[in-house]
Amino acid sequence: MSAVAPSFEEKVSAYAHPEVLVSTEWVAEHLEDPRVRIAEADEDVLLYEIGHIPGAVKLDWHTDLQDPVERDFVDAEGFARLMESKGIGPDTTVVLYGDKNNWYATYTFWLFKLYGHHDVRVMDGGRLKWEQENRPWTRDLPTPAQTSYPVPQVDQSIRAFREEVLRQSEEGKPLIDVRSAAEYKGELIHMLDYPQEGAQRGGHIPTARNIPWGTAANPADGTFKSAEELRRIYAEENGIRPEDGVISYCRIGERSSHTWFVLTYLLGYPNVKNYDGSWTEWGNLVAAPIEK
């Protein structure tokens, strides 16, 4: 006789910060809540137009969240104006969801925390679970009322840059390469099906452990694995301990934000940074140390 799966409340109660996750049921109950703004952030930026949760606004990682010229995020002034256009105030509860195990939802969550937004959450399971439960989609575009959002301060403490990554490697401190095994071994210089986002050299940063980001999610419905399963993956099997300062990376920082989220908010690791330069920067740096 198979064991009964724990309820959502039972599962999240074991996380270090259960408040950052909400269920599909919670979202369905708060679609009309003026204090809540649902936002979709997908890897496939066309999905929103095909159908989205009623009332949800779109946050396009390519056009909304990135500087149009420099390789960097939208600046603090741009972030504030984006929030105002999406009907988000500094006290708004923002709930993010998306495709592919909430890959870009956690990337957007990381960016929100970079700019200090207090109450931002992720819908466990994302688009996949919402669809599996036959919950409603719409193509209607919301028209949120303009808000006022003060220009925020930037919290760089959760972001790693290449000089710090080099020191982390040289000192043998934890680095997590969340890419596929083939990328880690240098057999691919880009993520599968993403040849336009490659680098001059393949391989990985010396001393980095390969823990693919997707191992933290349940493939059946895109939800996060239990705290017990996550501790086994990171602490027991790979020796990544809470007392260690950790840096995660991938190719442009999106997949590694998922691991950053898991370690920081689900397991409660106090010092985790995301290296968003990742392999497209490191693999193109002249004389940067690489292993295969």
Residues 133 and 195 in one domain: no
Domain boundary among 96, 124, 154: 154
Q: Classify residue 121: in a domain, yes or no.
A: yes
Residue 139, both tokens:
């193509």
CATH number at residue 112: 3.40.250.10
DSSP-derived secondary structure letter, 279? H
User: 171 with 123, same domain?
Assistant: no
Report the C-alpha gap between 221 and 101 in whole angstroms.
Answer: 8
- Give the predicted TM-score (pTM) of the model: 0.95
Q: What distance in Å separates the CA atoms of residue 93 and residue 117, rounded to the nearest whole number?
A: 9
The Cα-based distances of 232 to 204, 227, 239, 255 in angstroms read: 23, 9, 9, 20
Residue numbers of the domain that contains 164:
157-282
Which are the contacts of 93, defined by CB distance < 8 A and separation ≥ 6? 35, 36, 37, 119, 120, 121
Place of tokens 């027991």: 236
**Do residues 175 and 100 both lie within one domain?**
no
> 114 with 168, same domain?
no
Q: Which of 100, 121, 154 is the last residue of a domain?
A: 154
- Do 142 and 173 lie in one domain? The reply is no
Task: Look at residue 3 and tell me if it is in a domain.
Answer: no
User: Quick check: is 116 catalytic?
Assistant: no
Is the alpha carbon torsion for 282, 285, 289, 291 positive or negative?
positive
pLDDT values of the chain reduced to their tens digit, one per residue, 292 residues: 456 778 999 999 999 999 999 999 999 999 999 999 999 999 998 999 999 999 999 999 889 999 889 888 999 999 999 999 999 999 999 999 999 999 999 999 999 999 999 999 999 999 999 999 999 999 999 999 999 999 999 999 999 999 999 999 999 999 999 999 999 999 887 666 666 566 889 999 999 999 999 999 999 999 999 999 999 999 999 999 999 999 999 999 999 999 999 999 999 999 999 999 999 999 999 999 999 9
Q: Are both 132 and 192 inside the same structural domain? A: no
31 CB burial (10 A radius; 0-12, 13-18, 19+): middle
User: Looking at the domain assignment, is residue 203 inside a domain?
Assistant: yes
pLDDT at residue 199 in the model: 84
Q: For residue 68, what pLDDT is reported? A: 86
Given 250, 263, 266, 272, which residue is catalytic?
A: 250
**261 and 167 in one domain?**
yes
Q: How far apart are CA 60 and CA 12, in angstroms?
A: 28
Confidence at residue 71, expressed as pLDDT on a 0 to 100 scale = 87
* H or E element that contains 257: helix 254-261
275 and 161 housed in the same domain: yes
Q: Which residues contact 251 (CB under 8 A, 6 or more apart)?
A: 179, 183, 190, 191, 194, 197, 199, 278, 279, 280
Distance of CA 157 to the CA centre of its chain: 16
